[in-house]
Amino acid sequence: MTGVLTLYRTSVGKKVIMALTGFILVGFVAFHMYGNTKLYQGPEVFNAYAAGLRDLGHPVLGYEHLLWIARVVLLSSVVLHFWSAMALTGKSQKTTAANAVGTLKRYGVQKRQTGYAAYTMRYGGVLIFLFVIYHLLHLTFGAVGYNAEQYQHPALDLKNNTYIYNVYNNVVYGFKNPWVAGFYLVTMLFLGVHLFHGVWSMFQTLGLNSAKYTGLLRGLAILVAAAVTIGNLTFPLAVYFGFVQ
Amino acid sequence: MSEPKNLDAKAPGGPIAHRWDKHRFDMKLVNPANRRRYTVIVVGSGLAGGAAAATLGEQGYNVQCFCYQDSPRRAHSIAAQGGINAAKNYRNDGDSIHRLFYDTVKGGDFRARESNVYRLAQVSTNIIDQCVAQGVPFAREYSGYLDNRSFGGAQVSRTFYARGQTGQQLLLGAYQALARQIAAGTVAMHARSEMLDVVVVDGRARGIITRDMVTGKIERHVADAVVLATGGYGNLFYLSTNAKGCNTTAIWRAHRKGAFFANPCYTQIHPTCIPVTGEHQSKLTLMSESLRNDGRIWVPKKKGDTRSPQQIPEAERDYYLEVRYPSFGNLVPRDVASRNAKQVCDQGRGVGPGGLGVYLDFADSIKRLGKAKIAERYGNLFDMYAQITGENPYELPMRIYPAIHYTMGGLWVDYNLMSTIPGLFVAGEANFSDHGANRLGASALMQGLGDGYFVLPATVPNYLAGIKPGDLTIEHAAFGQAETEVVGRVKRLLGNIGGTRTVDSFHRELGKLLWDECGMGRNDAGLRRAIARIPTLREEFWKGVRVPGEGSDFNQELEKAGRVADFLELGELLCRDALHRAESCGGHFREESQTEDGEAQRDDEQFSYVAAWQYTGDLAKPALNKEPLTFEYVKPSQRSYK
Amino acid sequence: MKLTLKVWRQKNSKAVGEFKTYQADHVSPDMSFLEMLDIVNQDLIMKGQEPIAFDHDCREGICGMCSLMINGVGHGPKTAITTCQLHMRSFSDGETVTIEPWRALPFPIIKDLVTDRSSFDRIIQAGGFISASTGAAPDGNSIPIAKPDAEQSMDAAACIGCGACVAACPNGSAMLFTAAKLAHLSFLPQGKIERHQRVLNMITVHDAEGFGNCTNMGECSAVCPKGISLDTIARLNRDLVMAALKGLEPTVGIPVEG
């Protein structure tokens, strides 16, 4: 218990929480991107993938059980990731606001010496968080971003006692709207930058980085960030330009 | 003026190798339970002060430690580069405690006290052990064992080092030990506090008066013993390799309260510093003398030769050290190298701005060993040189010139490191030390830590055991009087609203005067000129110095002014000491005392003693007391490097 | 050379500070940055004004006393040197130079460009040492240390405690300073014994002093005059995780949560 308390009490501990939850969330976005590439295999495969997610772990686990476990873990991760970010940011702002030149400016002149990615983490994170809410309301619940009758909710198949999903239809209609597609594109770029710093940072925070491996880990971060970003960017673009109909 | 008298160092007798052991047994101890009732003030937090404060704290005394910097980690010991000597004989090359002792006495040109030097050589080995245990990251060989190098012309490899930052690492070791005691509550640290006077009650040092440099508050501190470890006074010369804040105030104030000042004219001049570039120069930068291992020193044969060094053909270059000292060449000791550089520059053959510089040329070494090898050995020094001068030393020869670097003189202390004021101990560079008239490379760190870790922690308790603890408060009249004096002085310094000159301009003038008349070379006439000028300069200072701001504030000009005021007094004593010592020895060259071929001529007959000056109330008439020096183990001989 | 200086002037820690503009007219490229300020100060004194207060001491890049944000960069535009080692040839004639103190909660401004960095001392007091009292040490060679370990320890030990890392860190974190001391000691066998307790104690005080939190941005290492590597921070993090797994409690004051 003392150990958990140490993580909670200390700044480094909170970072460790951020890194561990970040690890889970990186795993999720990577898997999510990979799963979505089934979009290119047509409606049947893609819809079956959506349905299959509910059935993951069958027959050991019951219908949607693993999905719910994943949802709980992911939601907790988001909450903890967000909490640690808020706690750390709040303290840092107190540090830098004291003796500052103005309320919004710490120095009269300040020049950045390192890459830009690390500077985007906070507002990038907030944007991604808002995006996730929109994304759920949009593609999962069909509550926003669609014209009437475009979104198809899961239909109960009485014969097989299961639901029929037409997520393919929802994706295609969803990205037909240029504003929606644009929002997705912009967010994905931020996600890419967030991952570029976040993935390397995760290793650094967990103490797995060292002079010998830092190049390798930076490379890995670029790979993960690029794969997720480029993969995710193709979906709205493919729909928008009519490659997926 | 009181009659000159002979001083007794109270060094124990008997075989030299057993003196320290015997003395340690003879000294009195304080019961562990009583120790916290004794308060010890330590002024200065460098190698000597930091180590002493930490160790006395570990022993259980109540220690109050003061430094003028914002943290004890910044004391100027940090700037020492080369290394620290110890008679470990890890190289099996014939080193021993006796050899280190012998080399140090000889290197000091037979003007040091044998008993002290022997003790220094003895504790040198403990210092290394202690530092390793503390985590000082000394250089290692691939075996994992400690690496050594030979340094400053020593014939054995006894110098331990941590890259070019040995002083920094040793100081951080002491600083960390001090931090541990601060956390434990045995040491109270007062940073940004400057000691402005010592308080003497019934003939014993009982406290100090300080100025809080942030709030300007003048404070009284009472103790049972006071340790001064406040470093040297090289900044007297304005341009030196010392930190800007280094000053003499603590020891000078103690001198005025009765502590004798020994051998003030013994200053060390380091040959490999970067030359002055102009009037704006605020300090000089030293480069490790290890550079002389691979660099060749030369000047043009012709006077006023303004060609670039590459255009001067080999035949028109004078490699003067190699010519004059064929067996030692460029590796002659510091004093010889410095003196010769001055000589060739005085002849008008100096190079660079103002003609005050000689070349240190690596072209041959680069040809022989390759640029990579030279970069590996001296890369950081070359970078530093390029940074300061804007010249690339891989292509152009470096320009170097000697600079004031260390002061062997200081308050006179006995074998217990106690001054002539009972209860006032002086350690490290602040005392007149174990180095005699010339200090060997890598031995200042050794002395600072030896005094701090091993000598004071034995001798201070011996003193404390003989007195009753804590029988005085800061309400005593002596504190009031000392405080009044300090407050009055601060007021006087701030009084000249319409002053016409800044503190720096006075300091520069004093420095230039001393460098010219009492620097590397000295003569009777010049010294008399300086002695005539300094009192008038002092008068001009008190009448015409402009110190802006207030006393009750953070005021750097006020700090400087107080220090320069004391330099203006010490400067005169320095010249008087130099004038009286009509011999050349160690670091200083008295022009009237030289051999036929222009080498330094020591005069053992007349000057084999420590000159300990006593303040008489009249700066023009200090009283000379002598501690005769006898050499039982190292027979005095004339040094020769031909 | 002629320069325009915009300098932060602040009477004391409680006063409100402001930028003031000064002309430095007789600047030689051979001057160090601090010598340039010396000259400006000499003029100010003779004009009856208060000189600009700034911290400095050794003026050769080792004591760590000098500071200054110069045109928005800690220790100025050149890498791997301190302000006192910066020379005016790194600036161009007619340039405007903005000079500010380190700005962070645990570094209160004492006056003008002078800050109080005693919070660093308190971090070291929390455990930045090996608990070896004088006299107890075995022979120096009885603790062999592999050369690569000694070298890495020395790399970290080169820290001069100037505070540029905190000043440059957008979070005002002192993680690089803390990590450098921890790495210096933990690379050595004699320092490994207290390793995990040490990190927990030092981080506890680091946080309590009001330093911000590291987000691995790397600004600290980029401006560090001694080039201390971010690896030291990874090492700190690893040691803290180990301390947590071991269930250690800090043996120094617990910070106020917030």
Q: Using the beta-carbon criterion (under 8 Å), do C110 and B214 form an inter-chain contact?
A: yes
Q: Which of B69, B78, B557 sits opposite C62 (nearest CB)?
A: B78
Indicate the fold that domain C118-245 takes in CATH: Fumarate Reductase Iron-sulfur Protein; Chain B, domain 2 (1.10.1060)
Q: How far is C176 from chain B (nearest CA, A)?
A: 17
Which of B 377-396 lie inside 8 A of C, CB atoms?
384, 387-390
Can you say how many angstroms the Cα of residue A103 is from the centroid of all Cα atoms in its chain? Answer: 32
Chain B residues with CB-CB distance to C44 below 8 A: 548
Residue B490 lies in a domain: no
Residues B217 and B226: their CA atoms lie apart, in Å, by 21
Residues of chain A with pLDDT under 70: 1
Residue C255 pLDDT: 43
Q: How far is CA C199 from CA B10, B528, C180, C182, C235, in A?
A: 48, 61, 11, 7, 10
Q: Which of A13, A101, A121 sits opposite C240 (nearest CB)?
A: A13
Q: Which of C171, C223, C235 sits opposite A207 (nearest CB)?
A: C235
Q: Using the beta-carbon criterion (under 8 Å), do B179 and C188 form an inter-chain contact?
A: no
Given CB atoms, is A23 within the 8 Å cutoff of chain C? no
Q: Which of B129, B179, B548 sits opposite C125 (nearest CB)?
A: B179
Q: How many CB atoms lie within 10 A of CB B554?
A: 22
Which helix (H) or strand (E) segment holds residue B40: the answer is strand B39-43
Residue A109 lies in a domain: no
Residues B534 and B571: their CA atoms lie apart, in Å, by 7
Asked, colleague to colleague, whether C3-111 and C118-245 share their fold, the answer is: no
Neighbours of chain C (3+ CB pairs under 8 A): A, B
Residue B635 lies in a domain: no
C234: nearest CA partner in chain A: A207
Could you list the residue range(s) of the whole structural domain that residue B558 is in? 495-607
Interface test with B, best of C27, C33, C41, C45 (most B CBs within 10 A): C45
Query: What CATH code is carried by the domain that includes residue A151?
Result: 1.20.1300.10
Q: Using the beta-carbon criterion (under 8 Å), do C137 and B183 form an inter-chain contact?
A: no
Query: What CATH code is carried by the domain that includes residue B540?
Result: 1.20.58.100
The residues near B606 (Cβ < 8 Å, ≥ 6 apart) are: B582, B583
Q: Give me the sign of the Cα torsion angle C194, C199, C200, C203.
A: positive
Same domain, B578 and B543: yes
Interface test with A, best of C206, C241, C248, C257 (most A CBs within 10 A): C241
**Using the 8-state DSSP alphabet, how is residue B71 labeled?**
S
Residues of chain B with pLDDT under 50: 1
Q: Using the beta-carbon criterion (under 8 Å), do A6 and C200 form an inter-chain contact?
A: yes
Tokens 């911290």 correspond to C55
Each domain of chain C, given as residue ranges in start order, spans: 3-111, 118-245
Chain A residues with CB-CB distance to C104 below 8 A: 95-96, 98-99
Structurally, chain B folds into a number of domains equal to 3
Same domain, B425 and B295: no
Q: Using the beta-carbon criterion (under 8 Å), do C207 and A10 form an inter-chain contact?
A: yes
Closest CA to C61 of C251, C225, C245, C192: C225
Residues A11 and C214: their CA atoms lie apart, in Å, by 8
Same domain, B233 and B277: no
Same domain, B438 and B382: no
Interface test with B, best of C58, C75, C117, C188 (most B CBs within 10 A): C58
Structurally, chain A folds into a number of domains equal to 1
Same domain, B234 and B109: yes
Same domain, B154 and B197: yes
Residue B473 lies in a domain: no
pLDDT band at C258 (very low <50, low <70, confident <90, very high): very low
Which of B 205-234 lie inside 8 A of C, CB atoms?
214
pLDDT digits (tens, 9 = 90+) for C128-178: 999 999 998 999 999 999 999 999 999 999 999 999 999 999 999 999 999
Residue C257 pLDDT: 41
Same domain, B292 and B258: no
Residue A7 lies in a domain: no
Query: What CATH code is carried by the domain that includes residue B379?
Result: 3.90.700.10
Could you list the residue range(s) of the whole structural domain that residue A91 is in? 13-95+115-240
Same domain, B400 and B514: no
Q: Using the beta-carbon criterion (under 8 Å), do C212 and A91 form an inter-chain contact?
A: yes
Same domain, B315 and B396: yes
Given CB atoms, is B23 within the 8 Å cutoff of chain C? no
The residues near B15 (Cβ < 8 Å, ≥ 6 apart) are: none
Tokens 């800061």 correspond to B474
Chains A and B touch (3+ CB pairs under 8 A): no
Given CB atoms, is C42 within the 8 Å cutoff of chain B? yes
CB pairs under 8 A between B and C: 222
Measured at the CA of C247, the angle between CA C246 and CA C250, to 5 degrees, comes to 115
Residue A245 lies in a domain: no
Q: Are B86 and B128 in contact (CB under 8 A)?
A: yes
Please say which residue of B405, B420, B435 terminates a domain: B405
SS3 A201: helix
B143: nearest CA partner in chain C: C146
CB pairs under 8 A between A and C: 180
B74: nearest CA partner in chain C: C63
**pLDDT exceeds 70 at position C253:** no
Residue B627 lies in a domain: no
Which of A 152-211 lie inside 8 A of C, CB atoms?
197, 200-201, 203-211
Given CB atoms, is A1 within the 8 Å cutoff of chain C? yes
Same domain, B422 and B401: no
Residue B1 pLDDT: 42
Q: Using the beta-carbon criterion (under 8 Å), do A99 and C254 form an inter-chain contact?
A: no
Q: Which of A96, A200, A206 sits opposite C172 (nearest CB)?
A: A96
Q: How far is CA A136 from CA A24, A70, A131, A140, B503, in A?
A: 19, 15, 8, 5, 72
Residue B4 pLDDT: 60
Same domain, B82 and B223: yes
Name the H helices within C9-144: 33-46, 118-125
Chain C residues with CB-CB distance to A200 below 8 A: 216
Residues C97 and C104: their CA atoms lie apart, in Å, by 21
Q: Using the beta-carbon criterion (under 8 Å), do B144 and C56 form an inter-chain contact?
A: no
Q: Which of C42, C137, C157 sits opposite B172 (nearest CB)?
A: C157
Neighbours of chain B (3+ CB pairs under 8 A): C
Residue A105 lies in a domain: no
Neighbours of chain A (3+ CB pairs under 8 A): C
Same domain, B447 and B595: no
Please say which residue of B366, B387, B405 terminates a domain: B405
Interface test with C, best of A86, A107, A193, A203 (most C CBs within 10 A): A107
Residues B503 and C41: their CA atoms lie apart, in Å, by 11
Chain C residues with CB-CB distance to B553 below 8 A: 12, 111
Residue A156 lies in a domain: yes
The residues near B78 (Cβ < 8 Å, ≥ 6 apart) are: B46, B167, B168, B171, B172, C58, C62, C63
Q: How far is CA B192 from CA B45, B140, C74, in A?
A: 11, 36, 23
- The angle that helices B47-59 and B166-184 make with each other, rounded to 10 degrees, is 30
Q: Which of A93, A96, A114 sits opposite C222 (nearest CB)?
A: A114
Q: How far is B525 from chain C (nearest CA, A)?
A: 34
Residue C81 pLDDT: 96
Residue B623 lies in a domain: no
Backbone φ/ψ region at B439: left (φ over 0), alpha (ψ -120 to 50), beta? beta
Closest CA to B97 of B27, B21, B43, B24: B21
Give me A209's structure tokens: 């980085």
Chain C residues with CB-CB distance to A119 below 8 A: 170, 217
Give me B223's structure tokens: 């103790």
Q: Using the beta-carbon criterion (under 8 Å), do A107 and C234 form an inter-chain contact?
A: no
C18: nearest CA partner in chain A: A101
State in words which class domain C3-111 has: alpha beta
Residue A245 pLDDT: 82
